[in-house]
Amino acid sequence: MSQFSASGDKRTLGDYIEVAKVYPAGRLDYDSEGLMLLTDDGVLQNRISSPRHKLAKTYWVQLEGEICANALEQLRRGVELKDGMTRPARAQLMQAPTVWPRDPPIRERKSIPTCWVELQISEGRNRQVRRMTAAVGYPTLRLIRAAIGPITLDTLQPGQWREVDVARELPAQWLRPAAAPRRSPQSRPHRRTPRHPGRSSDRRS
C-alpha cells in the first residue's frame, strides 16, 4: 500500500522505507507497481501529485489482446470516461520490458495473446490508465509506473529506493512556490504589512 500506516495484512511503505518524515507524492493502486516519489517538502509533494500541474507520468501497460492502431489513436486523442473526457495521451506499442516477476502472477488466458503499451498521461484520476484501456476494448493485466516527469524507475527493484538530488534532477518549476493570484486594484488593501523573509530549508525526495 502506498502509505506508511498499517493496513491489515498488506505491506506498506513502512516495511521498506526507514527515512523519517517523508510522504508519498501521489499514489499507486494496490494492484499496480513501479515508481513512487517520497518527499518531506509539502510544496513539491503538491506539485507532483496535484492534477492541475499536468505533470507527465509514464506507464508500461500489459494489455489483454493485441491492441489495434485505431485503439491507440483513441488513447492519443482522449477517451470518454464516466467522469469526462481524458486529456490526450502519448501511446505507443513497446517490447515487453525486462522487469521483476509479478507477485502474484497476472491471470493470462492461453488462447488470448497480450501486448505492452507505453502510455504517458498528465492527469491523476482514480485508476485512470485501467479505465482508459478498458474503454478502448483492451483490459489492463499489469501496470507499472516507469517515470514521473524526468525521474525514472531505472534499475530499482521492488522495495528498493534511492535519494534524489533535488537541485540536479528535478525541473526548476517543480521547486518554485506557486504564484499568488493577481488581485484587482479594488480588492487590494490600503495598507500593506511588511513581509518577513521565510527560512530556507533543504528539500529531500
Asked whether the beta carbons of 164 and 170 are under 8 A apart, the reply is yes
Asked whether the beta carbons of 6 and 12 are under 8 A apart, the reply is yes
Kind of pairing between the strands at 80-81 and 84-85: antiparallel
* 20 contacts: CB under 8 Å, gap ≥ 6: none
20 class by beta-carbon count within 10 Å (0-12 exposed, 13-18 middle, 19+ buried): exposed
Whether residue 202 lies in the annotated active site: no
* Euclidean distance between CA atoms 43 and 8, whole angstroms: 31
The CA R_g of the chain, rounded to the nearest whole Å, is 20
* Euclidean distance between CA atoms 166 and 180, whole angstroms: 23
Q: Which of 15, 29, 31, 83 is catalytic?
A: 29
Catalytic (active-site) positions: 29
